Amino acid sequence: EAGVTQFPSHSVIEKGQTVTLRCDPISGHDNLYWYRRVMGKEIKFLLHFVKESKQDESGMPNNRFLAERTGGTYSTLKVQPAELEDSGVYFCASSQGGQGQETQYFGPGTRLLVL
């Protein structure tokens, strides 16, 4: 079974530019999460999709961040315009949904550097 994949693995952009990160969850997983770790800090939750709906977006830092999950499959996270403090590692995770244990499976992350 393929795991959670993220693209790109690395991105270096200049302040003010736009970057779009993509996450492909494990097939059949209804829940999709975005997290990030900025330099020297702990991993922080950004938002949670259930299928194509945003269940919880309490962690989104500001309106420069836009997440979508059209069709309930893959998700994109767009940062526009990027700022220096957006540099960090962005993780995506997915879980199956339904009752019972909800183990979240994480992707390898996208390393974003804003210059």
Contact 35, 21 (CB under 8 A): no
Q: Which is nearer to another protein, 94 or 114 (CB)?
A: 94
Contacts of residues 99-103 at CB distance under 8 Å and 24 or more positions apart, as own/partner, are 102/31
In angstroms, the CA 42 to CA 44 distance is 6
**Residue 35 interacts with another protein (CB under 8 A): yes or no:** yes
CB of 73 to another protein, least distance (A): 17
Total number of residues that touch another protein (CB under 8 A): 30
Contact 29, 95 (CB under 8 A): yes
DSSP 70: G
Residue 27 structure tokens: 């097939």
Of 7, 22, 38, 45, the one binding another protein (CB under 8 A) is: 45
Binding mask 84-103 for another protein (x = CB under 8 A): -------xxx-x-x-xxxxx
Contacting residues toward another protein, per CB under 8 A = 4, 30-31, 33, 35, 42-45, 48, 50, 55-56, 59, 91-93, 95, 97, 99-109
